[in-house]
Structure 1
Amino acid sequence: MAPSASSSVQRARRALADRLRELARDAGLAGKELAALCHWHPSKVSRISTAKAQPSEDDIRAWCRACGAEDQTEDLIASLRTVEGMWVSWRRMERAGLRRSQEARLPLYERTRWFRAYSPGLFPGLLQTRGYTEDVLRAVQRRRVPVDDVADAVAARMERQRVLREGRRRFAFLVEEGALGNGLGNADTQAEQLDHLLEVAALPHVSMGIVPIGLGRTRMPVEGFWIYDTAQVNVELVSGYLTLTQPSEVRAYAETFAMLAGMAVYGDRARALLTEARNSLA
């Protein structure tokens, strides 16, 4: 797993290390004794038990076997996979193409009732037209994905958009004004996208805010993020996809969203900015 400053990831890694260290203590094994049973250098046991190195699944199997705690193996491997899932590099997530990563998020969308999304440069996926989505995913595919399954990935994202109109859900979207004219795709695609935003913004369960360009901002743009109910935040970084579940971190992003929301314009003023951007394409 790539290093991350996220306390969610670090705490999960420490919790796994603590459980492994407890197994060794309960078995009466010192670090050197455990290392000998596993045929490792003693420093490896030290690094794993202090969360300075993350064990592999085989490492966990060997550790549990040495401690006479093989009944704990599957549970600990499940914990390891949870840690690994908190931070996923794009290379790992997209090595088989873009479709799977789009489909993988559908269960999360289906169980969420309150969506909050902030986007500094692109329109959020739930608001994208098919043409705009194709341009976005094609750009991603050309930059970092050797497999070309863009058509399937676009279809998966379009399928996910049904949550906008199904069930009793609430949506709050914040977009930086600069995203309205970011130049992605051609004029026809951009015009269609802006028309679609005007339509979606009129839905009663959707709040559409635009953070205007101008001097005197109290908060600079940050990385794009999604908040799902009050349980989880996902952040798309240059290097990978971060999942945060620690309440303090979810709360920090919720506070940032509220601050940015306080700077945004809504209703007629938001529609005026969308219309202005639409007219500038003529």
Structure 2
Amino acid sequence: MSAYTPSSSVIAARRALAEQLRDLRRDAGITGRELSARCGWHPAKTSRIQDGKAAPSDADIRAWCQACGVPERAENLIAASRVVDSMYVEWRRLEKTGLRQAQESVLDLYRRTRHFRVYAHRVVPGMLQTREYTRAVLTAVQRARGTEDDVDAALDSRMDRQAMLHRSRRRTFAVLIEESVLHTSVADTETMAGQLGNLIEFSTRPAVSLGIIPFHAGRRRSPAEDFYMFDDVQTSVELVSGYLRLTQPHEIGAYAQAFSDYSDMALFGPDARRRLASALKRYR
């Protein structure tokens, strides 16, 4: 899975929708050129849609079904198209009004979840971040993506969500962090020291299982993108270009297996805290 493109699952879902539309045209006994004429658009558009290279709008699907004489099929196909659209969202679309929107968009999902599994190889996961570390991360994101500067509002939203998560005794957190994250200075020395100290404290909580994957760990697979697993309902993957939501059981199962593989490499308990303490010395 590339960090720069939507997952193969999204591509496969788009192709499956395209194949259904192509089958409707064939069942109607009309050519792509004839369908284009009935819909009032260029034949190249028909080719792009039925080859899965262009996502059809709701209006396109209705026109397609009408041209094929099966208007009753439109709503189900529109619903399927919207599921595909919801799987992958570009950051620029999710953050078009600022970073706070992205923080609040997942609040209901976090509220419903009882067991979190998180893998991180870029930054400390948000649910374990200090306020100062979060500010540094959000500020870097805002500058890199050129979004509206609402870092203070986004920071407050993130901290409120974090407090909500840790107030409940019914939630558990299994978190795996690559050791390289501990040595990646995303903020000043004082902030990094505070964040590592916070991780040490979190690692002693009964509801938190914190694993550190050491440098040069024997790997059966290469590092993945950062991902969050919400019970067995959804896996969210943070790509460079956008945010991926996976809900199919086989997709969730693939990430569950990856999490299990990474867990086998990780250090926990006192061993993990020794790695944290070693990194902390650098900042002190």
Q: Deviation of residue 177 (structure 1)?
A: 1.1
Q: CA deviation at 1:73?
A: 4.2
> Which residue identity lines up with residue 188 of structure 2 in the other structure?
N
- Which digits, 9 at most, give the CA deviation of each residue in 1:1-34, with x for residues without a partner? xx94633212321332244345545656443332
Residues 254-273 of structure 1: pairs in structure 2 closer than 5 A? 254-273=256-275
In the TM superposition, residue 70 of structure 1 has moved relative to its aligned partner by 4.7
Give the drift of 1:173.
0.3
Distance of 1:85 and 1:169 partners within structure 2: 26
Cross-structure match for 2:36: 35
Aligned mates of 1:221, 1:89 — CA distance in 2:
22
CA distance in 2, matches of 1:6, 1:181: 29
Q: 1:160 deviation in Å? A: 1.7
Q: Percentage identity across aligned positions? A: 51
Give CA deviations for 1:75-125 in whole Å, capped at 9, x if unaligned.
Answer: 433332221221222222212111111111111112222211111121001
The count of residues paired between Structure 1 and Structure 2 equals: 280
- When the two structures are superposed, what TM-score results if normalisation uses the length of structure 2? 0.88
Corresponding position of 2:210: 208
- What letter matches 2:197 in structure 1? D
Q: Contact 2:217/2:265 (CA < 8 Å) preserved in 1?
A: no
- Which amino acid letter does the alignment assign opposite residue 105 of structure 1? V
Q: Partner of 1:123 in structure 2?
A: 124
Q: After superposition, give the CA deviation of every residue in 1:244-271 in whole Å (9 maximum; x if it has no partner).
A: 2333332222112111111111111111
Q: 1:191 matched to which residue of 2?
A: 193
Partner of 1:175: 177
User: CA–CA distance in 1 between the matches of 2:146 and 2:73?
Assistant: 37
- CA RMSD in angstroms comes to 2.4
Structure 2: segments with no counterpart, 5+ residues? none
Distance 2:221 2:8 in 1: 23
Change (3 A) 1:106 1:5: closer
Q: Is the 8 A contact 1:115 1:227 kept in 2?
A: yes
TM-score, structure 1 length as denominator?
0.88
Q: Distance in 2 between matches of 1:214 and 1:43?
A: 50
Q: Distance in 2 between matches of 1:281 and 1:240?
A: 32
CA distance in structure 1 between the partners assigned to 2:266 and 2:66 by the alignment: 57
Residues 242-251 or 66-75, more deviating: 66-75
Q: Name structure 1 gaps, 5 residues minimum.
A: none
- What's the secondary structure of 1:280's corresponding residue? helix
Give 1:16's aligned residue.
17
Give the superposition deviation at 1:241: 1.5
> Distance in 1 between the 2:21 and 2:216 partners?
53
Larger mean CA deviation between 45-54 and 251-260 belongs to: 45-54
Assess if the C-alpha contact under 8 Å between 1:95 and 1:145 holds in 2: no
SS at 2:283 equivalent:
coil
Secondary structure at 1:53's aligned position in 2? coil
Conserved in 2, the CA contact under 8 Å of 1:8 and 1:245?
no
Give, in whole Å, the separation in 1 of the partners of 2:147 and 2:193.
30
- Give the residue type in structure 2 aligned to 1:49: Q
